[in-house]
Amino acid sequence: MKELVTVIIPILETQINPTEEKLLHHALEILSGYAIIFVAGEGADLSVVREHAEHIDVVHFPKRYFESRQHLAQLLLMPDFYDRFNWCDFLLIHELNSWVVKDELHYWCKQGYDYLQAAPALTGPNASPGILKRISGLSGEEKQLYGQGYAGNGLYLCRIERMTATLKSKRSVAHQYRHNASLVNADALFWELEANRFLPHLRKPTDIVRSHFAQLGVEYQGNTTLPFALTGISRDNIHEIPYFKNLPETE
């Protein structure tokens, strides 16, 4: 029988800063009831990670995929990545820009969705949801704008079987996204724009439901129920996010 879910924490080649350490420490605490696996480049220095957890499980991939978030997006658009974790049904991809507010992971795995991620931060005339339904697809410039809306949006829950099936059925499109250097956050763009284009491959929630799953930290003002997680957190904005201003100093 398969495990329900495994938490995946990618470690990029760049040095972990104090804010990312804080997010890492919290993730290891609040998600301690689940299998947690770090993914990193071959030969990566994980000494900072081991300061927070002496015994860690690591799965290595070619080093080039961890040079930047742009390179990691390429890995996350490959079926082989998801196949490496086929002993479980779901993966929670948890980058070090996210904070799980409350342990509802089991609940979200049981809601019948294949892919959940916070909505992008979009502004301007191209932000209308209707633009995503255009049969002809988006222009290159529009895709770039949508990609920028996913900057720092580093937490998603996905059903492995459906992710691999979607990538294999849309192999040529996924290849284009992996190798288009002009697209930022190409993985999120692919799942948003292409996965269900023409035919539905993934069961995805409404915007209201996914706002209960995750929200960008800078957009949460404390006037609604807290979501499962906040994302888009960095050393540049953590002190401006109301949620963190109210946390005890020990956090």
- CATH number for the domain that contains residue 72: 3.90.550
Quote the domain boundaries for residue 46: 3-122+153-169+198-245
Q: Is residue 177 part of a domain?
A: no
Cα torsion for 149, 150, 153, 154, to the nearest 10°?
-170
Q: Is residue 146 part of a domain?
A: no
196-208 confidence digits (pLDDT tens): 988 899 999 999 9
As a whole number of angstroms, the distance between CA 7 and CA 34 comes to: 7
What was the pLDDT predicted at 249?
58
Question: In terms of Cα–Cα distance, which of 97, 91, 118 is closest to 3?
Answer: 91
* pLDDT reading at 194 higher than 60: yes
* pLDDT reading at 91 higher than 90: yes
What is the band of 126 on the pLDDT scale with cuts at 50, 70, 90?
Answer: low
What is the band of 220 on the pLDDT scale with cuts at 50, 70, 90?
Answer: confident
The one-character DSSP state at 17 is: P
Q: Report the domain count for the chain.
A: 1
From the CB of residue 103, how many other CB atoms can be counted at a distance below 10 Å?
A: 13
End-to-end CA distance of the chain: 36
